[in-house]
């Protein structure tokens, strides 16, 4: 049910960065994670409906972003990041999105900061978006400027796809400053600070 927790075990208990497929399942079971059915009734019914035409038009979800990315900084200014997603609806079996690919869906460099993305993974994979955000911060950019740069890069390189799709980034730097930005409106993010959650609407390139 929580692949993000299995991913953490990979980081903490193995010398590796990534496990996939059957090996990842074997590792999760050996770590005591139960095998669970992730298919909800709502998703099953949507799939039954989709099968009537079975048109191959995979989509990110209707709220225009799909993935939960998190970047945290502690009182010693140590940065951590996490990213978890169900990916794209009705995609080809075997399709890999940006979320599990380090540097695409999420990237942390503890000397600089961290970033995570949401939205259409293909556009983020093609630009290694989260890595780009962190590299901009390394060059001195404020996290807000860094996320804007990554969004603009994506729109510049993939203008047609960008018209119809969302990509958003969040970022935190080593000083605790943060930023968030999307291609389209509707990208909300939450800032948790001093025991309080605050929801913000991120800025966007298109209005």
Residue 174 beta carbon to ligand GLY: minimum distance, rounded to whole angstroms = 26
Cβ nearer to ligand GLY, comparing 92 with 199: 92
Residues of this chain that interact with ligand GLY (CB under 6 A) are 66-67, 85, 87-88, 97-99, 118-121
Could you tell me whether strands 178-182 and 203-204 are parallel, antiparallel, or unpaired per DSSP bridges? parallel
Residue 120 beta carbon to ligand GLY: minimum distance, rounded to whole angstroms = 6
Distance, in Å, from the CA atom of 123 to the CA atom of 168, rounded to the nearest integer, reads 11
Residue 105 beta carbon to ligand GLY: minimum distance, rounded to whole angstroms = 6
Sort residue 90 into left (φ over 0), alpha (ψ -120 to 50) or beta: left
Cβ nearer to ligand GLY, comparing 141 with 168: 168
Cβ nearer to ligand GLY, comparing 13 with 59: 59
Distance, in Å, from the CA atom of 189 to the CA atom of 13, rounded to the nearest integer, reads 31
Residue tagged active-site, from 42, 67, 118, 127: 67
67 catalytically annotated: yes
Positions annotated as catalytic residues are 67
């Amino acid at each position: 049910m929580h692949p993000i927790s299995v991913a953490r075990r990979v980081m903490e208990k193995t010398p590796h960065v990534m496990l996939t497929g059957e090996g990842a399942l074997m590792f999760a079971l050996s770590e005591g994670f139960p095998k669970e059915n992730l298919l909800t009734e709502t998703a099953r019914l949507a799939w039954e409906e989709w099968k009537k035409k079975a048109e191959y038009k995979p989509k990110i979800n209707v709220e225009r972003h799909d993935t939960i990315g998190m970047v945290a900084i502690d009182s010693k200014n140590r940065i951590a990041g996490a990213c978890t997603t169900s990916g794209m609806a009705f995609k080809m079996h075997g399709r890999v999105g940006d979320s599990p690919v380090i540097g695409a869906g999420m990237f942390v460099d503890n000397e600089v900061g961290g970033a995570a993305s949401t939205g259409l993974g293909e556009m983020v994979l093609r630009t290694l978006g989260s890595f780009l955000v962190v590299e901009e911060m390394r060059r001195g950019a404020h996290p807000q400027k860094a996320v804007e740069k990554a969004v603009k890069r994506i729109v510049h390189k993939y203008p047609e796809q960008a018209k119809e799709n969302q990509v958003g980034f969040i970022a935190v730097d080593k000083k605790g400053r943060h930023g968030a930005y999307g291609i389209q409106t509707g990208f909300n993010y939450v800032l948790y600070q001093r025991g309080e959650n605050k929801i913000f609407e991120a800025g966007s390139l298109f209005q």
